[in-house]
Amino acid sequence: MNVNYLSSLLAVVVLGLVAYVGAGIAGLQGVFGIFIPYLAVVIFIAGFVNRVMGWAKSPVPFRIPTTCGQQQSLDWIKQNKIENPSNLFGVIARMFLEIVLFRSLFKNTRTEIVGDRLSYKWVVWLWLFAIMFHYSFLAVVVRHLRFFLDPVPFLVKFLEQIDGILQVGLPGVYISGITLLVGAILLLLRRILIPKVNYISRAADYFPLLLIIGIALTGLTMRYFTKVDVVKIKELTMGLATFHSGVPEGGLGGLFFVHLFLVCILVVYIPFSKLMHMGGVFLSPTRNLANNSRMKRHINPWNPKVKFHTYDEYEDDFREKMIEAGLPVEKE
């Protein structure tokens, strides 16, 4: 038992109850169905811009890439062009592999003492859970576009076909929904069960995972178990997307509002938390800079203008006196 994840769990449960009671029982469906989603989008955009522009303002005067390969050197020494890029092309390749395939997670190692020796072992699990979780999440988000677009474009339908390829049950099981939940739970268990990871995990690490698990659970419950009137939900969401919002006649179930409210909380939470890595991954100077310090002089842009008096100028000023005194000069 740990206060960090218990408090996060409590927060998610309370937030869910707020929506359930507020929209489902007290009938504040306009607030939870229209006002809060719009507010969440506005806060998200403002917070996101603010955070990214804050990073844009941060000085990065020098090249600080973290490298783990041979840097560009003499012709007969083979450079590792991706681990130690020296030009834009290498940086793009490196960033692409990082963003799309999570390459640095793939190099995850476990440090252990085996017998009387320190050993480092390659461990694939973090990468596996992470890639499963992130791509499932992407698929789920893209699939949800069916609620916000009319007519639904081909790409979304195509993804639904692929995702529902198992044709199990009705409504058909989507693979991504299940892998999303499983991935999030595995990432959570990793934090709870591995003592070293547990030691460095705080409430801010547990909260987003539990929040996403809450969202996935309510979503899956609505789709496969308690069922909702999808046409009515699309009426509400299309209202949001076209700025003609209204709560559909007869209202919607409490569970739907729990789902929607938790999504709003997640959207609002992103710019103020570690979830900002969705923007930050593009902007990490240890990844997106070429290691070309030995080829190109990088001058700190906010260095004050210093008036230099070079040796050449010094010699020009004093040449005759130097010759007189018998000091060596560069130019006669």
Q: Which is nearer to another protein, 69 or 153 (CB)?
A: 153
Instruction: Decide whether 82 or 173 has the Cβ nearer to another protein.
Output: 173
Task: CB nearer to another protein: give 55 or 125.
Answer: 55
Q: How far is the CB of 129 from another protein (least distance, A)?
A: 26
Provide the 10 A C-beta neighbour count for residue 281. 15
CA distances to 181, 250, 264, 307, 314 from 310, in Å: 66, 83, 61, 10, 6
Least distance in angstroms from the C-beta of 30 to another protein: 18
SS (H, E, C) the chain: CCHHHHHHHHHHHHHHHHHHHHHHHCCCHHHHHHHHHHHHHHHHHHHHHHHHHHHHHCCCCCCCCCCCCCCCCCCCCCCCCCCCCCCHHHHHHHHHHHHHHCHHHHCCEEEEEECCEEEEEECCHHHHHHHHHHHHHHHHHHHHHHHCCCCCCHHHHHHHHHHCCCCCCCCCCCHHHHHHHHHHHHHHHHHHHCHHHHHCCCHHHHHHHHHHHHHHHHHHHHHHHHCCCHHHHHHHHHHHHHCCCCCCCCCCCHHHHHHHHHHHHHHHHHHHCHHHHHHHHHHCHHHHCCCCCCCCCCCCCCCCCCCCCCHHHHHHHHHHHHHHCCCCCCCC
Instruction: State the minimum distance, in angstroms, from the CB of residue 314 to another protein.
Output: 32
What is the dihedral sign for C-alpha 29, 30, 36, 38? positive
CA atoms within 13 A on the CB side of 212: 28
Rounded least distance, CB 157 to another protein, Å = 6
Nearer to another protein by Cβ, of 147 and 272: the residue is 147
Q: How far is the CB of 152 from another protein (least distance, A)?
A: 4
Give me the residues that bind another protein (CB under 8 A), please: 45, 48-49, 52-53, 55-57, 60-61, 145-146, 148-153, 156-157, 160-161, 167, 169-171, 227-232, 234-235, 238, 241-244, 248, 279, 282-283, 298, 301
By beta-carbon proximity to another protein, the closer residue of 191 and 234 is 234
Cβ of residue 139: shortest distance to another protein, in angstroms?
14
Q: How far is the CB of 161 from another protein (least distance, A)?
A: 7
Question: Min. distance of Cβ 237 from another protein in angstroms?
Answer: 9
Q: Which CB, 30 or 248, lies closer to another protein?
A: 248
Nearer to another protein, 202 or 232 (CB): 232
Closer CB to another protein, residue 73 or residue 226? 226
